[in-house]
Chain A
Amino acid sequence: GAVVSQHPSRVICKSGTSVKIECRSLDFQATTMFWYRQFPKQSLMLMATSNEGSKATYEQGVEKDKFLINHASLTLSTLTVTSAHPEDSSFYICSARTLQDQETQYFGPGTRLLVL
C-alpha cells in the first residue's frame, strides 16, 4: 500500500526558532499533499493544500508567512513553522494523494512539536 513518512517524528525547540517538517511519499508520486494540525483531544484541522510545483492554498485563519509550505517534487513536501511559539505546539500530520486516485488520501504518522 501507499506509504507516507514524516521526519522528524518529534521535535522540541526554543521559542523564536524555526522548525522544518518533511513529508515524503515513499512508493508513489503525490501530486497533492495536505497539512493538518491536531491539538490534544481535538480533531484534525486542515491547514493547507499544496500541489507540486505551485504555491500552497491556505485555509482561512492559517498564516501563510508563519507556516511555509514547499512542494518542490512529487515525493516531498515540507512545512516550516517560522518563529515558533508555545501555542504552535501541536501534532502536525501530512497526507498525500495521487492523480490517479483522487478519492483516497494516505496519511503520515505525524510530527509532535513542542515549543518551549
Chain B
Amino acid sequence: DAKTTQPNSMESNEEEPVHLPCNHSTISGTDYIHWYRQLPSQGPEYVIHGLTSNVNNRMASLAIAEDRKSSTLILHRATLRDAAVYYCISNTDKLIFGTGTRLQVFP
C-alpha cells in the first residue's frame, strides 16, 4: 500500500487559510488521494478526494501536483471546528491511515 508523509502538527488562526501538505511519492497511477479528518472520540469524516485534477467542494480544495507525488489540502478560512487530525491517504482499494496532521486553530 502506498505510504504518505505528513507533518505531525500545524497551527492556524481562525479565518485564515490553511495549507496541509502531503507527500505520496510511491503512489501508483490508479491510486486516488483521499483526505479524511477526525475529531476527538469520533469516527473519521470524509473531506475530499481526487486523482489528477484539482478538486473543490464545500469543505475544502485539493491541489494535486502534476507528478502526483504530493498534494495539498486547502481550508480557505479555518474555523475552530476545523481543529482535528487530518489524514492523507493514497490507496486503491482500502484506506490505510498514517499518523496524520494535528491541526490546531486559535481564535
- Chain A positions near chain B (C-beta within 8 angstroms): 4, 6, 34, 36, 43-46, 49, 91, 93, 95, 103-110, 112
Chain A, residue nearest B45 (CB) = A107
Cβ contact within 8 Å between B46 and A105? yes
With A and B bound together, what is the CA distance between A103 and B87 in angstroms? Answer: 15
Within 8 A of A (CB), among B16-52: 32, 34, 36, 38, 41-46, 49
Set of chain B residues within 8 Å of A108, measured between Cβ atoms: 43
Of A44, A45, A95, most buried by chain B (CB within 10 Å of CB) is A44
DSSP class of A's interface residues: helix, strand, loop or mixed?
strand
Cβ contact within 8 Å between A103 and B34? yes
Cβ contact within 8 Å between B95 and A93? no
Which of B41, B46, B98 sits near A106, CB closer than 8 Å?
B46
